Chains A and B, each alone.
Chain A
Amino acid sequence: MTVSSSTLKLAPEAEARIDDLQRRYPTKAATLLPVLWEIQTQVGWLPQEWMAYAAARCEVPVSKVLGVVSFYTMFHQEQPGRHHVQVCRNISCTMLGAEAILACVREKLGVTNGGRTADGKFSLEEVECLAGCSWGPVVQINRTYHENMTPEKTAQLLDSLE
């Protein structure tokens, strides 16, 4: 498969950060994850044309980029809600009441695992252990951790988001 080309460009600072990393990593292919993160941070998710951009930037086939994107749970092939609500469902959080929190989020948002509200404001994802077990149950919204959660606190938190 031939390496694709792309006319897209990220913000200049992002392009500069990628240039810097490509000088420091032993191969361009190895900068694929950092490049995908730059795209997702700017665009919010990873549309096809941006995957082609990543392939060109890292000199790897598009098929490889697709394989990588689909492997990792944090790379989004569809646009998530503005507030991506991630509820830990693993063992310590389950013992401390994660199921009640999930039930609360499902009911409040009217979506199930993987779903997004019609207005695009929220999406819900059940996730595995977030390394916050001692302070569970844990809910992560976009990148921010919320610990020692209860259904009441979760409902208030969702209400407080713009």
Chain B
Amino acid sequence: MTKIITKNWGVKDSHLLSVARANGVYSNLERVLKTPIAPKDVVEAVKKSGLRGRGGAGFPAGMKWSFVPQNTGKPIYLCVNADESEPGTNKDREILERDPHLMIEGALIAAWAIGCRTVFFYIRGEFDLPERRIRAAAEEAMKAGIVGDNVMGSGWSCDFIVHRGAGAYICGEETGLISSLEGGRGEPKIKPPFPAVKGAFGCPTVVNNVETLCAVPWIMEHGGEAYAKIGTEKSPGTKVISVSGRVKRPGNYEIPLGYGLKDLIDNECGGMQDGYRLKAVIPGGSSVPVMKPEQVATLKLDYESCQAHGTFLGSAGCIVVDHTQDMVKLLHVLARFYSHESCGQCTPCREGTGWAYRILTKIVQGRGTKKDIDTLRSLTQQMDGATICALASALVMPVQSFLKQFPEEFEAKVQETVPA
């Protein structure tokens, strides 16, 4: 299987500049700048590759870059989204720990393509080693003339600033990230205007996920067509999947898109741990609908197959649920999470996530009634789509799918009416 994002992970000290250069990192940046390959041709290559955003929404990267207006006279910004906080997902973190220079190379090629002179690297506040690695890498690259003034002797300059978050899931949402970068609370903003047109500091801004940008050097080396040949027609390329739960070998695995979820669990992950049976999988991070074993058997890890199964690839955090787990309890945990992380701007989200959490608390404690289950259903129907950002829907999807897929577990915990 072709490795693009994780190809250097087995190399000792792959995070150091000398080792990274021996691995070929920065050779594509150098070729782009020295040839030079015109920005519009870089955008064209990425468009041809079909690379889709790996942060969750799957938006085509080349197309996003082409939306950036080049004639406003304002600076253009690139924000790298390294806020990775979607429960079940731990891929960006390992990318940063193992190959921070590949990350910087991808970001600089993207910056060149969109006409950006300042890259903001927004990193999750809790991250320790990943932050030290990216700061050390940026420092090494700066001293070596790769970042900053006159990048690799090309005459083109680009600053790279690491901006540390401070604990808020919502700052992973791109406009929440921008609010936070601007020095405020991480409150999402209404779209349109989209960040590509009016983003950070009122200027055109591209927000891309870490993994998305790490695919760009390979695309410049091998061409967009070669990338498009990997994976499936509509979901080209590779994807790093995080697997958690009671499998024998949990961790991050890079697979070509279209790879079977069951194959990943059985082969790469070595199957379930002894004594544990598969009960369900949430394939795309905690925000997407849950799948039962018969769906897991046929689901392919690509955007289309996930949708055909009624779920999403999302951030590709595969949460493997074993037979000992109580689905009501797990949903209760998720409702607590989303209500805790709601930024509070939109009433349906602020009130709805809190209400869902309170109802589930009642049910978990054995104080719930059948009517509470109905309320959960109708309440989440009203929350969906009525908000500034997708956080509300990120609770709606698990609630509705857990209720649909495992109704018996909820019904077993509630009573007909309130006990006297």
Contacts and interface: CB of A to CB of B under 8 A. Distances in A.
B89 to A, nearest CB: 6
B93 A131 contact: yes
B322 interface: yes
A156 to B, nearest CB: 21
A31 B201 CA distance: 13
Contact of A131 (B84, B166, B184): B84
B368 interface: no
Interface stretch (B60-68, B103-111, B118-126, B385-393): B118-126
A58 B184 CA distance: 12
Contacts of B169: 128
B330 A91 contact: yes
Given A94-B330, A129-B88, A60 B167 contact: no
A56 interface: no
Nearest to B203: A26
A63 to B, nearest CB: 12
Contacts of B118: 24, 26
A91 to B, nearest CB: 5
B85 A36 contact: no
Contact of A134 (B128, B159, B243, B325): B243
Interface stretch (A6-14, A102-110, A114-122, A135-143): A135-143
Category for how many chain A residues contact B: 35 or more
Interface string B150-168: 0000000001010111111
B42 to A, nearest CB: 25
A96 B182 contact: no
B161 A21 contact: yes
A70 B159 CA distance: 30
A94 B333 contact: yes
Interface stretch (B6-14, B229-237, B244-252, B407-415): B244-252
Contacts of B89: 129, 131, 133
Interface centre among B127, B286, B333 (most CB of A within 10 A): B333
29 contacts: A24-B159, A25-B161, A26-B75, A26-B201, A30-B181, A33-B164, A33-B165, A33-B166, A36-B166, A58-B183, A64-B184, A68-B184, A68-B185, A72-B167, A74-B125, A74-B126, A75-B167, A89-B336, A90-B87, A91-B286, A92-B245, A96-B246, A127-B167, A128-B169, A129-B286, A131-B85, A133-B88, A134-B90, A134-B242
